[in-house]
Structure 1
């Protein structure tokens, strides 16, 4: 691949406190949810953890927006200088060092896994885990499913953006988005009806409905739609940013509707209408978070930017940390819920920070030294995260 082609990079985007806050809340919520499956952090936190899987959709919207906007802006301003190879290489440097390190730990040290059984390495290396997993037998490192979804997005989105750039009108693009969302509703409904009728003796909800990429496009599409609005509809974007608190309030109301639809998480209503409604809610929150005028985007809260910065490493390593505390530390601690919870938090942060500073950040430094590093310059960190 030729990475030497020069490219015009979009202006450096400052960190947005509102998006950092959403990212930090999402990763914390997802880890609370996973704590229930790995062993839990005590019954006092069960209610808070119950809907933690919602965090994944916030991350998918963030990914669609933060990856999509710089790419679309570059295609608008300097399409001849865009390097597809440069985009892929930058994504690889961003994702692979920390991911391969954690995968190596899972493969080499079974005692550290949250579950003894792990799928074959090639499924993780090919990012096909979310399509081929035998969840009942091999659930270890299952949170890699959402990273597979993101990798499929990274692979296909720039190709689609290149193919459609300058060739479609706004109404055609909106029609395409609507068709994809409605197609997802129909597909998930058909899958749900099929497997509900058959009742196979396997966790089909996870394997056939919840993990596959084609079932989880809603939030990514909403993120891309936000990116399109920011780049190609600047007046509308400016108006929405000016009214960010109203957008935030609407996002919270729609989020409440989504939770109502998901009161039966594996039900038909949740898995048809629930996902696009949840994606819309997350999109409104991200739209509000991107504005310095919103309540969540106005101030920098202590520690939030750091949690957001290490969120990818936290995502990769937190189940190892949860298992380590449950197996080796908890037996030595008094049965005090607050103390045990603090132990979980401390060890999770320790594992995540170690991976971030020892592997993730060096990988980013190597990426920025790579020839053609300006090509397809996408600033934001990976926001891949999972909900199981």
Structure 2
């Protein structure tokens, strides 16, 4: 069983389909953030009657739950307990914080450039940046939404950092549960927390919405179950392409359509189940995307974290630029939408590629070098770099 579990774990670790799922998530998140911030035709807004792109963050939560739980449990399986937790947190910080700090600093400069005044714009962006870096952005922006945004800021710079803050909080919750209880008991307690959270209505930017643990829990649960029963990934039906593509399609349909067709409190639980189902579809043999599609999605997925961090600043810069262009606002919305959408994608992807190659990868390689040095010294080594 250990051999099969190792094979299944390695397959999941190296599986490009998870990167493709990340790409789908960030594309939908960008669709959400474009809305009402840059010019778009009526057809674009009509799409929101049938789907809710903000649920892309729940795909990220499910993926994070799976990979972070995997990383933590694998550390604990081969390292002394204190050493394992120290390495887990050092790895999380090395992986996430440098890029976050960099793009938070860029956002402050952007705020100063595009705000009603340099001081007000920089101050607003600084509030959001600090809330994100200290892992409380979901609480901060929910408070602002509940009590009137003007009490907090004049513009919602860095409001997208709320989901990063929630991820940090869920990392802490998972680590505490695993630290004090056996894995099965920890997951049972996590299930109770998720069920309690699911009983509350969760309209947008309510506390139940911005503190939702369900998708993250289901991602972690999938790893624990697959680790205990690796045969789930090697059955003929599960490995068949039609089954996996069907599971992916149904999962994405549930994720992005549930908010439009369900009432509270069923929205977030259904979105989370859909995200978990989409994740499960990526854990065995590949989905056999067309080669070009797969390569493009993999490229985007690898840079999805940096895209998430930088695209808000690009949106605000483009909004400032288009507002300053004489006659641009009077053009047909289709003619304004196309250049704005292209500029957003192109600039965000170029900036994210820079961030990925110059900030993310060097930190990953530096951490890997330290791991190798520890292994050569006879110290316990860290797990691989897949849970990124």
Same fold (TM over 0.5): yes
Stretch of structure 1 that moved more, 44-53 or 340-349? 44-53
Shift of 1:23: 0.9
Cα deviation, 1:104-136, whole Å, max 9, x if unaligned, reads 122344235689433265433321121133241
Deviation of 1:183 (Å)? 0.4
**Cα separation, partners in 2 of 1:261 and 1:358, compared to 1, 3 Å:** closer
In structure 2, the CA distance between the partners of 1:40 and 1:16, relative to structure 1 (3 Å rule), is: farther
* CA distance in 1 between partners of 2:115 and 2:31 (Å): 15
- Structural mapping, 1:1-388, within 5 Å: 15-48=14-47, 51-76=52-77, 83-112=84-113, 116=121, 117-118=124-125, 119=127, 122-133=130-141, 134-135=144-145, 136-137=149-150, 138=153, 139-165=156-182, 168=184, 175-186=188-199, 188-189=200-201, 205-211=204-210, 213=211, 216-239=212-235, 241-243=238-240, 245-250=242-247, 252-253=249-250, 255-257=252-254, 261-263=258-260, 270-295=263-288, 301-328=294-321, 331=325, 336=335, 337-370=337-370, 372=374, 375-380=381-386, 382=388
Question: 8 Å contact 1:64–1:220 — kept in the other structure?
Answer: yes
C-alpha distance in 2, partners of 1:80/1:232?
21
Distance 2:255 2:361 in 1: 36
Unaligned runs of 5+ in 1: 1-9, 193-204, 383-388
Cα deviations by residue, 1:89-114 (Å, 9 ceiling, x for unpaired):
11111011110011112234423568
Inter-partner Cα distance in structure 1 for 2:234 and 2:55: 28
Q: Do the aligned residues in 2 keep the contact of 1:23 with 1:311 (CA within 8 Å)?
A: yes
Is contact 1:247-1:284 (8 Å) kept?
no
Which stretch shows the higher mean deviation, 111-120 or 280-289?
111-120
- Measure, in 2, the Cα distance between the counterparts of 1:232 and 1:222: 15
Residues 288 and 353 of structure 1, relative CA distance in 2, 3 Å threshold = same
Q: How many Å apart are 1:27 and its aligned residue?
A: 0.5
* Distance (Å, rounded) in 2 between the aligned partners of 1:237 and 1:90: 28
**Secondary structure of residue in 2 paired with 1:303:** helix
1:318 offset after TM fit, Å? 0.3
Instruction: Assess if the C-alpha contact under 8 Å between 1:130 and 1:149 holds in 2.
Output: yes
The one-character-per-residue Cα deviations of 1:234-261 (angstroms, maximum 9, x if unpaired) are 1233337425642542453355456554
Inter-CA distance 220–14: structure 2 relative to 1 (3 Å threshold): closer
Task: State which drifts further: 10-19 or 140-149.
Answer: 10-19
Aligned-pair Cα RMSD in Å? 3.3
Structure with the higher fraction of residues in helix conformation: 2
Higher mean Cα deviation, 39-48 or 90-99?
Answer: 39-48
What is the TM-score normalised by the length of structure 1?
0.77
Query: How many pairs are equivalent?
Result: 348
Distance 1:270 1:355, change over 3 A: farther
Counterpart Cα distance in 1 of 2:322 and 2:14: 36
Determine the C-alpha separation between the residues in 1 that align with 2:128 and 2:283: 40
Whether contact under 8 Å (1:241, 1:293) holds in the other structure is no
Question: What is the distance in 2 between the residues matched to 1:176 and 1:155?
Answer: 14
The structure showing larger relative contact order (alpha-carbon pairs under 8 Å, at least 6 residues apart) is: 1
**Which SS does the other structure have where 2:58 is aligned?**
helix
| Deviation at residue 11 of structure 1 after TM alignment | 6.0
Return 358-367 or 310-319, whichever deviates more: 358-367
Q: TM-score, normalised by structure 2?
A: 0.77
2:44 aligns to what SS in structure 1? helix
Residue 24 of structure 1 and its aligned partner are, at CA, apart by: 0.7
